[in-house]
Structure 1
Amino acid sequence: MSAEGDGNDDIKRQVLFGTGYGKPPMATRFEKGRSGNPAGRPRRAAPDLSMAEQPMLGAVLKAANKKIQMIEGGKPIELSARDAVAQKIFVDAIKGNARSQGLVSDLITRADEAHAREMRQRNELWEWYKAAKTAQLEDAKRRGEPAPSFLPHPDDIVTDPHTGPRFVGPVDEDEQRELERALQLRETLIMQDALDHKSTHRPDGRQFNDPGAAMVMAMLLEKAIPPRLRLSDIEWIHRQFKYEGISKRTLLKLLFTAWRKIGRPRQRGYLSLDLRVVKKWFEDFGAMYQEVQAGNLDVDAMARGEFDHAALDFMERRGLH
């Protein structure tokens, strides 16, 4: 019989008897004597078990987190068993151990992949949040309605593929209250700067001729305020002109109330520290930070009132008696 005849017979059988479940087309049926599943029956997935149902894994995790004593750089340190094992593997790899180098390479690759996956998932979540809340803010503005309040504010969320989402503003009610106090303090310091420049003597009669510290503090405080709420150069100038145009008598009243409102009451007529004093504070702080970073100063011991030779020498050089 010809190939054409075989094809016609196959079509006739499909028309007469149909195809479907249990009756696949002839062209797709398994050949006689050949298995349709040569790889065999797929292995059933292992059930999800809790740590309580896997006591050996629980014991391993407990041992991995156990603190042990080690010597590093001639000094005793305490770290977890998992950290100690990781350090040993890395040290061996750096020394040229081929097996450790392969293991380290694999561990780093897996860790990088897991980290990237986690950062991507977190970024996607917060990017969705930013888009949704920004749309709500724009919708309220378009309708001429008050802007809804969100914590965190969408403009205070910064996503990064390496570090994940970062929040540069308040994320809860407590932090929101702290932000509101910071904004009030910034305004109070700008107002204080205006009074400082209008004054020549302190309340106790001492001469005052070095203003500017209040404005320096206000500008430093600005760095801790979310970018969306920072003042532009024009806004800084506008505020300065605003308070400079107010009489000294009125400024005294406004400042007395403002300092009390933010929980930092000052006597009437209070003036800022001399600018040179504040500058020296920052210079001393910068010098101390460098000494701490170099390992020359123990700030924890100094905070406890314990001053070794290095600390005493630093204080003498900086005039901190």
Structure 2
Amino acid sequence: MRWWRRLTIAAAAALLAGGAAPGPGLAQQAIQLRFMSWYFGEDPAGPTLKALFAEFEKRNPTIKVVAETVTSAERVPKFTAAMEAGRGPDLYMDTPPNAPNLIARGYCLDLESRMKADDLLARFTKGDLDSFTDAKGDHYFVPYSTGPMGLIYNAKAFQDAGLDPNKPPKTWEELLEYAKKLTRDGKYGIGLFGKGDNSSVWRLWYWWMSNGAEVLTADGKKSAINSPAFIEAIDFWADLYRKHKVAPPSVPANSFGENNQLLAQGVVAMVESGVWQFGVTEKINPAIKGQLRAAPMPKRKVDVAVGGGTDALCITA
């Protein structure tokens, strides 16, 4: 029975990764696939996945995909506990920082041969694929999504501060100017991610890249984070909080969940985030619907579009 479940799960994973949907009759017996992800609690990610499930189930009526919703913060502890108890899901979604430990614990199947057979390795960028490998370079996750980061801002807050919501800041200097005008009466111009988790790290990429800095020297042999351009970028970011006070005092403890609440409650007017921010914020506070807008992140020296991390699927072992 286990081999049949794995075949069915592999077909479902291929569909979710953008492959051709299997035809009728894949499964000859009723089977239920449990899929754990934080996506199910977000919009538009949740409805999009469930639409894919419906398509898959229509083509394979003996298969039912069951969504198991967890929050982003609780996904690893809940998944780990379920796997250790022998009650883990069939499909699980996570990000590069967590993948090596999950692979090392033996929670995920080695998908190398299957991905080669289905020509999936040619469909994704090397960086996305290599974020989910073991020490030998074998792939254990199929990339599902990645998204460019931008400036998500509250148009009403802009108007209330005398700013034109149709003209978001285009430079770092303008960003600081806008943030100062938006900071008043217990509200702040921008929400920063200072917690030190993966959501925080992704958002820092933009700052040093926009300032023309690199993490490594040109030969790739030494760290370059002590370069003037890198230090200048991080100092500018940090000074929004420590010097200019245009970010909340809680910045060191804030990450995705905290900034979602702050944006939804109108405590901050701008955040660096992706398209998912709209649905997440509106779910917390439906009254904010229609107030949020998106723009490219302000430029310093280089125009950059930074991906907000890659989310990928594994088939559990």
Superposition TM-score tier, normalisation by shorter sequence: under 0.3
Greater RCO structure (CA 8 Å; 6+ sep): 2
Larger Rg: 1
Higher helix share: 1
How high is the TM-score relative to the length of structure 2? 0.22
Higher strand share: 2
How high is the TM-score relative to the length of structure 1? 0.22
